[in-house]
Every structure is written in C-alpha cells, then in structure tokens.
Structure 1
Amino acid sequence: MWRFLILIVVTTTLVFSPGTDAADKKKKRDTLYSNIYRDIDDMGYCVRLTNADQSIGCATGPNGDTGTVYLIESQRDIDWVLSEGSMPPYVPLINQKQFYNRTFMMLLKDGAAAGRISGIIADFLTSTNDYQQDNGESPARQCPNQGFGGIGSTCNPTWNPKGSSLAFDHFDFPIFGLRDPEQLGALKNCSILFNQKNSSFERSYPACQVRMRAFMSASVNTPTCMRKNSHVILSSSGFCDPLVNPSFWGSLFSPTKINKSEAVVMATAKMDASAFFHQLSFGANNNAAGIVALLGALEALGKLKRDHKISENSISKPILFVFFNGEEWDYIGSSRMVYNLLKNCQKDSQKGCEVGDGEVPISRFLGLNRIESFLELSQIGLPGEGGTLFGHKPSNANATKLFNTLTSYSSAISPAPDGQQLPPSSLLQFLDELNVIGGVVLADHSGSYKNRFYGGAFDDAHNLHLNADQTTSSHLADVSTTVAKTLLNLAGANDSVIDMVKANETTISTLLHCFLQEMNCTLFKNLSTSDDADKLKNRAGPRYISVDASTPNAVTLIRKLAIYYSGIEATGTKQDDCTNGPVSESKSGKSNYLKTMVWNRGAGFCRYGYVYKTEAKSPAFLLKEYGSSKYSTWAESRWDVDPTLSFYVASSDYIENVTLGVGVMMFVLSFFGTWYGMRRMNSRSGEYTVQ
C-alpha cells in the first residue's frame, strides 16, 4: 500500500510541480500568467453609485466577464457585433464620439440585454484634438442637481444643453476607458490581427478576448444598500459607503476674530469635479478655473499680510474662504456646512453632529446669520470678448452691494438677465435657509453653460486653451485681483491698501499647469511630503469626491496651497514641527489660537495660516434618512478587488478540449508507466535477492 502512495506522490510531482521553493513557484506562476495575459493598468473604470431612488454606473458579474474585443470603425462593424458575428459576446472598442453619443450607447446597451455585448472599452486617446473641435458632448444631466437647492430646483434656462445624462444611466456590464498609447495600441492590434472581419473571409479562432473584473456590491438604491450594510452576516466587507471627503475653509487672520464680528465676507469655489470615469474627472472649467482664481486672490491678500500692509486690526470684518467638496453630487459640502451652522455643531458629542479628529467646523466661530457677503467663483474659464463674466444674484440689498463692489473694480463683469434663476451653485443651499445673504455667483455664462464638456473627461487643459497662449492665465489673474479687492473693500480696508492689490499672473499660470497638465510639477512636489510627491503623476489629477478612505492628491494640495498663499513664515519652525495641524498655541491665556502649517521642501521654510478641514458628508447619513429629498443620498459601491482589465488570445472550445484530453492522457500514461517500471524493478530485485 505504501508503495502505491509513493507512486501517486512521485507521479503528481513530476507532472505538476511548478518549482522547488515558494519564490520559484511564484516566479513560474507569474511567468505563466504573463505568457497568457496582458494587463491594462492605465485606465478609467465605471463604478456603481446609488441614491435614494436609483443605482447608476456599471458592474461585472461576481466572477468577472469575458468577451471578444472588436474595433468599431464603421456601420458594418456595429452590425457585426450586434447580430452577425459568430463569436459573441463581444466587447466593442469604440472612440470618444461613439462613446458620448447616447443613442449609440443605448444601442449597445440593448445588445448587452440580448447577450451580444459583455462590456465596452472606449478609446480616450486617439483624435482627442479632433473631438475637442467638434460641438462637444456632456455625459452630465441637462439640469445638474435638479431638485436640490430650493429656488434653483427647477431648470430655467436649461443650464447644460449638451447634457446626455449618460453618467447617470445604469449598465449591467463593465465599461472601461483607455488612454495609454502603448496599451491601447496593443489591444487594437490584437483585435485587428485575430478578430476583425475580412472582406474575403470571416475570422475564426484563435480570437483576441478581454477579461474584465469590476464587481460592485451595491444594488437597487441607497436605502437598500445601507440597510444591507447593517447586516454583517450578509457580507463582512459591507456593500456601500456615503460619498465623503473634506471641504476646506479658512480665515485670512485668526478665527478668534470672527467671534467679535457682526458680519463676515466670504469667497468660495467648488472643489470637486465629475466625469463618467472618475479617474478622468479633471474639471478644467468646472471648476479648476474657479479654484485657481480663488487661490490667486489668497496669494494677493497673503502678500499684503507678509508685507505688513494689513492686519486683523486694519479690517472691520473677517475675510473667509471656502473650498466645497461633493457639490457635483447634490451639494454635499455646502449642505453639510449649512447644517452645521444651523445646528451650531462644535463637537462630536452634540446630538445630530459629527466632528472627526482634526476637524474644525466653521460653526465653532459663527452662525449662518453672520454671513453678509458670499462670492462664489463658478465656471469662469471661458469668458466672452474682453474677458466678460456675468454676476448671478438674488434680489436683496446685500447682493446688490456685493455686485456693485465687484463691478467697481472690473468693467468686464455684467449682470445676468433680470428674473433668471440662479445657476446650480453652493449659494443656493445658504439662500434656502437665509434669503438675505448677499450672494453673487460669478460665471462665464449669462444663461446656458458655455462649457461644451461639462461633467466630462474633455473638460481639460484643451478646453481652456492652455496649450495655445497665456490668455486664460491673464484673464484669471484679473479675476483674482478683482476678488481680492472686493473682499478687502467689503471688509473695510483702506483704499490705499486696496490699490496695492495685483494678482501674480505667473502664479496663476503655474497653478493651471500643475492642476491640469502635470501634477508632479515643482510647486506641488515642494508642498508635498516625499512619499506623497512620489505619487504625483505627470498629468492632470482627478478631483472626484470619492469616499473617506481615499482623498485625491489634487484635493489635499488645495488645502496646502491655501495655507501657503494666505499664510506667513513661521520663523524658526523645523520641518518635523511644521504640520497641517491644527496646532493650538497659547495666546493671552487662551489655547484656541489655531494654526495650520505647510512646509516648502524646495525653499526649506514653514508657513502658517488658518485653513481647516470640515467633513463633506451629507446630513442624510448623520440623520440616517437615506431616502431624503432635502439632502444628498449618494453612496458608492464597495468592491473586494480593484477593477482589472486584461486581454489574451483564446483558442476554440475544440482546441481547448483536445489540449485537456492530451494532458489527461499524458497523466494516465505517466502514471501507468511509472507503476509498470516500479513493478519490473521489484520483480528483478526479488530475483537477485534469492541468489
């Protein structure tokens, strides 16, 4: 019996053993995998999201999906994958125009329902410039955030006429977007070589196929998903998480000054962006332009501080600034700030409040009724002739005062049409609770958006014409100057000080380049830790809000930039002590003088300012009102394994069966060959033993 067991072990080892040690086994497994599959790692992928009423986005089955990749170049190719081709399911490889054509995408969606399509791969590299010159297409809704924001809940005018709502559709199959030229070229060549139908004959096996994995745990809607989250027996990893990441707010001087003020003036910008593929959410005009202009204004104001031209005693009203997160998803950041102000949230122990470690809610220092002026920088990167922008405002005295102050420093600002709704904006959340706030939304459109690529991957550097000339930088520098002067005027600064203000166009140009072209620029690397600097890519960075576990680098850097530009040197502070804070420092016997710091690695010095993070998490999740119609209910699906995409050359079922049969036959022959050999050896051994 023992000899028979040894025989099985030896035979199995001879046939199947991949190596002699763990490292060798892994190396051989990796070698085998790389000889079969080619991974595509530079890609965008579509994920599943839910709100109170629906689920949107894409997903594969639990074990992933496969399909025959097919390059779509003509109507004949479309007919082939939808009805004529003999190797379904197919994965069409399409271009940008086809992807943003809703009618075409719905045609493929119907093909998936019929079992002909198992996924889609979109080419986001080829002919980009040609597409940019076309009329454009937006995957966002025609009425962004409609239903949220009270006085702006209807849609008149249609703000985003190019909107197709593609990003808010539900797909039961995966969709990937490729932008790496080498990987995209290899996939196209594979499809052409093995799969493309020839005029003289039909291709057969071997076939170029793709393997896709992007299983999403969420389903139905947010109430269902959150209810399933509470039953850990269903899944140890959960099903979905609310969209959440920090917003940032700051004060030009110590926030303790705010407590003594009857009113404050505030400038804001939306920080996040969206796109069908969240990895491609660059948001150049929506709203990198607004972010850069506000940072440019902060640098101009910070320079006055550093030159000792202004101090907290030389202005009568505090100057605040806010970068809201999650505004693309039904105003998550602004609605949360208004909620905190109404609840007077100051610490985590308060009922209905949630204050995390390192957070400093603005409600610690003021109430909603102290906001006198609210200037929001919206889409301002595509001005009209002469740099024309439009001021959208409600009908109240404070708004008129703010608008008149703006126009006193810039002749390029015109009023939006009388009686027109305010465009989708953070301001709406504040006005819903207090309609006397003097708000102005500064934008490059008087009615419908000028941005042809709103909410899409092509709202990028090309959309702002950054590669053509410095016109955009000059325009945004003028906006920064106007914003800084307006804030100083409303805060009560002297005219002689206001006249000194001029934004630095070089700074504006650098910021645009860093946000929209090279995240690993010198400025961003200098303000990052060495570990974070290594993660910066040689391209634009996405600003999708994501979930709490993952804060985009572009978002983190906005806070550091705000501290750096609005702050002053922390003389004598070493790098290890120069932390983002907040840091408590005793002043006049009190320990509420909160500093936040940033270290410039290139210049080797520390600056401190007053810029704080506050959680941009919808109040719906604090109140557990997952079906809320007042607050955002957007949640993102969880997934156990990061989405993957690879391609390979597959044999026909016949060849695979033959290969399996030959393998089994070799195993059987090896087994009996070894058994017969051992038996012969034993018989010979017995003969020699007798002698």
Structure 2
Amino acid sequence: MKMRISVNFFFFCCTLLVCFFGRCKGQNVAPVEQTGVEGLNPAATELVDFFACKRLFSTSGAIGCGSSKDGDRGKLYGISSVQELEEFTKDESLKDRAIVLNSDMFDASVVSELISTERVNLLLIKPTTNPELFSPDIPTPFNLGDGLSHLNIPFPVALLSVEDIAILEKRIIENVERGYGDNNWQHGAEFTFYNGKTSVTSQFCLERGRCDPLGGLSVWGAVGDVVRGEKESVLVTTQMDSTAFFHDLAFGANSAASGIIAVLGAVHALGQYRDEIAALDKQIMVALFQAEVWDRTGSRRFVHDIVNGCASSDSETCSDPFTSSLEWTRLNLSKIGEIVAVDQVAGYFENISTFFTHIADDSGSSSTDLESDLQNEAGLAGLGVAKGAGLPPSALTSFLENEQFIGGGVVFSGYNATYQEINPFYRSRFDRAGSTNVTAQLTNVATAIARTAFVRASKGATPPITASDIEADFETIRQLESCLTQDFACDLVAEYLNTTTEFLQTVLQSEVSTNKFPPGTVPALFYTGVFSPQLFESNGKIQTFVPPSVLEIFVRNFVSHNTKPIQDEIDSTCGFDNTCVSDYADQIACNDTFVTALACVRGRCICSSTHFHDAYSPGLALGAEKLNDGIAISWNIEDDTNNPIWTEPTYSLPTIKLYQDGGYNTATEMLISGLILSIFSYVSISVIIRRLKETKFKLD
C-alpha cells in the first residue's frame, strides 16, 4: 500500500489552523460569558436600557449619528474631565476607542474635538449632574444653542442608564489597571445602528425609497361653526412638536407643551360661548402645527396648500395633493386677518414676571392694534406684559412670507430677547416640568389669549357677552399640564380617546424605540416622527390615510369636542373616524360640510369643525402608482430650494454589546506559539516520514 503525503501542504494546514485560532490579525474577541471575569456579571453582554441618537437627512446633507452597516466597535475608554480629554486627544496610540463621556461634558465643542481625532468609533454618554445651560439646537438670534444636534457625527452615540453605567464602570476600571495601550484583554463595546451614510441627502434617500419625510398631522378648525371661507378670521396658533439630541427624550415641557396647554385652555374657554361666537361676522380659528421644529414644515405646508388649492378632486377627497379631506379648500389666505402665535409661556425654570408681545418691525396697524388689545387683555388677566424684542420664528412667519397674506400678527411669549431667559434647556432632554407650580399663570395666559381672540373677532359688533365673561378653567389647565408634562397615559387623554390608561401606556411605550418608562411616568414625547401615508383604492380612485399619533388624536378630539357646533350626537359606538363615515353617514347630517367632517370623538360620532392637515415639506409632492400587488408611494421633489426637506431613514433597533479584546500582545503571543507549534510539527512529521521510509510502508 502506497501513501502519498505532501509535507508542505500538511505544514501549511497546521500553520493556517493555528493562526486562525490565534487571530493573526491582532484581535481576539471573546464574549464575556466565555471569559468568566471575576467580579463582573457574565450575562451582561448586551445593554438594553439606553437612548440612541438617530441620523436625519436634509436638503444640504446629514445630521445626527449612526454606525456602519456591520456596527462599530472599540475599546472602552472613560473621559470624565477636561484633563482626561486632553490626554486622549494627545495620545495618538489610543485608536479604535469606545468613549464613555460624562454628560456634563457632552456638548458640540467636545464632540467636535473627538470627531477630529478620527480615533473614536462610538460614544456612550454617562448621565451625571445636569448642566445649568444646555441647548443642542442651532444658534439663532433668539437661541443660544451650540449646534450639537446639527453636527454630522460619523459614529453612533447613546445615552446610557444608571444600570448600564454600573456595568461599564467595572470594565473601564479593569482597562485602566491593565493600561490603555495595546495590552492584554481590554474590555470593549460594539454599537450597531445603521442610519445611512454621512454623505446622503434627503433627495437621494427619498429617490431610493430608504427614508420618509419628517412630519405628521397638524390640527386646525373653527370655533362654534364650520369653516366659512367668506368670513374674515382671527387665528390662534402654536406648535405641536419639539426635539432633543436623543429624539426619544423630546419632553418639550416649555418649548411645546406650554403653548399647547395655553391654546387648548383658550379653546375650552371659548367653547363655552360657541353659539355667540359663531354668530359674529368674523370667525375664530385655531391651529396647532406639527413639525414646526424642522423649518416650520407644518405651517408652511398649510399656507402652501391654501394658496395652491386642490388641482384634482372628487366630491370628498383631493388627489392633487393627496389629502383625506377637502375642508381646507374653503380657506382663503387673504381672509385670515390676524394671527396670535403662542410660544413658551411656562416658567418651569425661571419665574415669568413679565410676558412679551412681538411683532415685525414693518408691521402695519393690524398688528399694532392686535398687540395693544393683547397687552390690555393680558393685564386684565393678571399678567405683567411688555413689548418684546424683534419677531421670533413661529407659524406667523410662514404666513408673513406669503404675499397673499395681508393681515397682521403677534407672538405672545414668556421671553424677551432669547429663549434662555426662561428656558435654559431649549430643545434638549432637560426641558421638563419641575416642581414650580405654574398652573395659575398658565390659566391666566389661556384667559388672555381667548379674550383677545374674542375682542378682535367682535370688533364693530355688539354680542350678548363681553370679553370679561370668558375665563379659562383652572382644573382643565391643571389636567392638561399634568398629562402633557408628567404622564400622558392619564385619565383625560384616555377619556378623549375612549380607551383605558392601561392601553394608552402600552401604545405609548411602543412609540419609544429602546428604553421603557416605568408605569405612571410615560411622558408625552414631542418629536414629530415621520409622515407615513397609506394609499388605498376605493371606487376606482386612489385615496390616502395618514395614521395620527396619540398626541395628534388627543389634540384633534379635544379641540373638536370643545368647538363643534352644538347639535345632537347620534347614538353610535366608534373607535375610528372611518367607522362614522362608513356606518353612520346616512344617520347624521353635518350642515355645510363634507362627509369627512364626521369624526369619532370620545367614542361617539359627531359633526366636527376641527380637522387634520398633512404636515410634510411643501417642497415635496406625494405620488402614487398602481401595481399588480397594490399601490406604490413615490415622492416627487418640486422645490427643495425654497422649501427645505427633512427625512428620517428607515432603521432597525439599535444594539450595544460588550466584549473582550485580546489586544496586540495576546495576538502576538498566540502567533509565536503557533509558529513554534508549526516548527515542532514540521520536525515531528519529518522524523515520522523518515521512519516510515525505513519500514514496509515505504513512501514514494
């Protein structure tokens, strides 16, 4: 019997196997479960209690954070002081690091410095003491922000929980004890959260169907009557959204909630006299705009649609642009005579002794008269008030930018020249309601707004009521404030949505991408999210439905219930608006409205004078194409020069895993061991072959 053995091939195989197990490339990664490091929790290899920074795309490029497709990994390195930051930036041998940074150092300058080293693969934020001043939003004349939220960060970033930090700190200490160089067994972290490339724009992403426009649904309507396009109107408005560096922590107590509370409180006060208000020659309208953070998307879309109208419609819906209602086509921009915009009116951080009215420098008599009446009514409501500096950006700006708007307007706020006068945490995760009780003051603000709207709408008339009869309800304001700043899964919201607080809590928890809030503390979150329409075919025509968020449904239902024309509600049980349209349209006649005015509010079908309006960039047009398996949505870019387009990419849930890295020394030792073993194998095989040649099993 003859055996043919290739000594060189056998030697190569042995060397390859040894090098494979020795990880010749210089890294040996082992899960913590397999290492059994003393004093560490061997099961704690994946962090689950954290908030991840997301990447967004605009017309000009990307902002925010994200990982590479396969995730980013690095050795844990703690930075808790300026000195430690300097040590890291100067030591160029410290490469591929997972930085654990104290939150009191987390700002645009520090992050920019870490980016410039090109040696940071991921950034984990350790919650420490709250700063005295922090706004990550872009700096403007009214905002002293540092621009952190608008940086294009090439690595993933997450805010950790106290529990996660306890796990990491033990590993960081061990890394320090071993030395931060290329040493044996360093602890590391791997962060996977791919949000697209840093070079992508919103246009590129939309064309490839990999993202959705930022937006949602604005809420608007008339008090006591259907929308009368021929009537001149007074519009009360505020924004419905805010943001933060970590979007799931956009609490927006002052930047969003305070304005919503004040406007809803004013609506409730006006609703007590809806019949008297409906009889006026002018109508009072209300609008809460979504996605205002992103270049006033909601209000600009509203103005754009009113001006351009519906190019193609049937009796109930519009297909150019696609909208689920035609109520907005009744509006005429030139008939919106005056606007009162409400912005940041709660003194959660600084007591507000004086409120301010802001008008444009070139304002005409309409704005100055409106400002005078607002100051007068605010004073009568017990508020200190003065003229503010300049005109801060608001929905009013969107109207003023269009030449068809010939009216005037005023912004009513708690600040004079900068937001930080009353809100040091503008558009950050620290913008939360504190222990300061501002309910009485918010009640007075709502009263002043409601009375001003009535005074302006009743000019030249002799209504049976006076402005002094209108007063906001303290208990209603208290409930609104509690729900919008403390726990959104509250009794008031459950009542208006005709559901239970337990179900609300489940739904709200599902809207948060990672961390779960404890029961009883599920806050209202004001990050707008994405505009995600659903297209379907009905009677041979393509129609659209945009699922509203819990916040949008609550606001619509609250305004609708308190402003709807007083008439009998039908004996119905409903869960959604389409139930009313499909099952009860023939049982209730909504005078002078479209059938889509039927709405399900507090479990009953009513004739609503309040409606949703799509809030996405007016630079986009929604398109649709019939396919064999359904209807495909497309986004056509019409004007991205004058109308910025913001988008959010589709993404999977973020993951952070811990591991141990053998480092350069360990890999080198294993490689040397492998080479020694290979040499020993070669010698042994040579001896064996020589002996075999001397036996009866001679080799050729």
TM superposition score normalised by structure 2: 0.74
Q: Does 1:518 align with 2:515?
A: no
Larger % of helix: which?
1
Seen in structure 2, the aligned counterparts of structure 1 residues 444 and 581 have a Cα distance that, compared at 3 Å, is farther
Counterpart CA distance in 2 for 1:99 and 1:438 is: 42
Alignment of structure 1 residues 608-687 onto 2, 5 Å:
609-622=608-621, 624-625=636-637, 628-639=640-651, 641-652=652-663
* Change in 2 beyond 3 A, CA 1:560/1:657: farther
Identity %, equivalent residues = 24
In structure 2, distance between residues paired with 1:352 and 1:122: 47
Structure 1 pair 589–442 and aligned structure 2 pair: CA distance change class (3 A): closer
2:150 alignment counterpart: 168
Q: What is the rounded CA distance, in whole Å, between the counterparts of 2:176 and 2:121 in structure 1?
A: 17
1:222, 1:46 → 2: CA distance?
Answer: 18
Asked whether 1:122 is paired with 2:92, we answer no
The structural deviation recorded for 1:292 is 0.7
Shift of 1:36: 5.5
Q: Which residue of 2 aligns with 1:195?
A: 175
Distance 1:66 1:377, change over 3 A: same
C-alpha distance in 2, partners of 1:386/1:280?
Answer: 25
Shift of 1:478: 0.3
Conserved? CA contact 2:483–2:489, under 8 Å: yes
Deviations 1:456-486 (A, max 9, x none): 221222xxxx313x2x111111010111112
Q: Which amino acid aligns with 1:174?
A: P
2:191 equivalent in structure 1: 212
Would you say 1:389 and 2:401 are equivalent positions? no
The AA in structure 1 aligned to 2:555 is I
Alpha-carbon distance, 1:342 to partner: 0.6
In structure 1, runs of 5+ residues without a counterpart are: 1-28, 144-157, 232-237, 666-691
Contact preservation (8 Å) 2:104, 2:129: no
Matches within 5 A, 1:292-691: 292-305=261-274, 310-311=275-276, 313-345=278-310, 353-356=320-323, 359-360=324-325, 363-382=328-347, 387-394=353-360, 395-411=363-379, 412=383, 414-416=385-387, 421-433=390-402, 434=404, 436-449=406-419, 450=421, 451-461=423-433, 466-468=434-436, 470=437, 472-492=438-458, 494=463, 496-528=465-497, 529-530=499-500, 531-536=503-508, 537=517, 538-549=521-532, 552-567=549-564, 571=569, 573-576=571-574, 579=577, 583=581, 584=585, 585-587=588-590, 592=595, 594-599=597-602, 609-622=608-621, 624-625=636-637, 628-639=640-651, 641-652=652-663
Corresponding residue number in structure 2 for 1:69: 76
Matches within 5 A, 1:124-163: 125-128=127-130, 131=131, 134=132, 136-143=133-140, 158-160=141-143, 162-163=144-145
Structure 2, unaligned stretches of length 5 or more? 1-30, 36-40, 509-516, 533-546, 623-635, 678-700
Distance of 2:579 and 2:223 partners within structure 1: 16
Task: Work out the CA distance in 1 between the residues paired with 2:62 and 2:558.
Answer: 36
Secondary structure of 2:219 counterpart: strand
2:99 maps to which residue? 92
Query: In structure 2, how many angstroms separate the alpha carbons of the residues matched to 1:593 and 1:217?
Result: 39
In structure 2, C-alpha distance between the alignment counterparts of 1:589 and 1:351, rounded to whole Å: 18
> Is 2:215–2:530's contact at 8 Å kept on the other side of the alignment?
yes
Are residues 1:108 and 2:114 paired? yes
Cα distance in 1, alignment partners of residues 105 and 639 from structure 2: 35
**Residues 170-189 of structure 1 mapped to structure 2, 5 A cutoff:** 170-178=152-160, 180-189=161-170
**Cα separation, 2, equivalents of 1:516 and 1:95:** 26
* Paired position in structure 1 for 2:53: 46
Asked if structure 2 preserves the Cα contact closer than 8 Å seen for 1:212 and 1:645, the reply is: yes
Q: Which piece of structure 1 moves more, 337-346 or 537-546?
A: 537-546
CA gap 1:499/1:122 in 2 versus in 1, 3 angstroms: same
Q: CA RMSD in A?
A: 3.6
Equivalent pairs, count: 578
State how far apart, in whole Å, the 2-side matches of 1:588 and 1:300 are: 24
SS at 1:527's partner residue? helix
Supply the distance in 2 between the matched residues of 1:262 and 1:422 (Cα, whole angstroms).
Answer: 27
Cα pair 1:346 1:364 within 8 Å, conserved: no
2: CA distance, partners of 1:416 / 1:78: 45
Does the 8 Å contact 2:216/2:614 carry over to 1?
yes
Q: 1:189, CA displacement in angstroms?
A: 3.5
**How far 1:333 moved relative to its partner?**
0.7
Structure 1 residues 90 and 553 mapped into 2: Cα distance closer, same or farther (>3 Å)?
farther
CA contact (8 A) 2:597 2:611 kept: no
Counterpart secondary structure, 1:196? helix
TM-score (norm 1): 0.75
Cα separation, partners in 2 of 1:361 and 1:324, compared to 1, 3 Å: farther
Displacement of 1:346 after TM fit?
A: 7.5
Q: Secondary structure at the match of 2:121?
A: coil
The range that moved more, 34-43 or 168-177, is 34-43
Q: Could you tell me how far 1:653 is from its partner in structure 2?
A: 6.8
- Alpha-carbon shift at residue 269 of structure 1 (Å): 0.5
Residue range with higher mean Cα deviation, 41-50 or 612-621: 41-50
Aligned letter for 2:609?
Y
SS in 2 for 1:288: helix
2:625 corresponding residue in structure 1: none
CA contact (8 A) 2:54 2:64 kept: yes
Q: Is the 8 A contact 1:223 1:627 kept in 2?
A: no
Deviations along 1:238-288, one digit per CA (max 9) or x if unpaired, are: 333221211111222332x514x4301110001111111111112222121
Deviation at 1:207, TM superposition (A): 3.1
Alpha-carbon spacing, 1:175–1:379, altered in 2? closer, same or farther (3 Å) = same
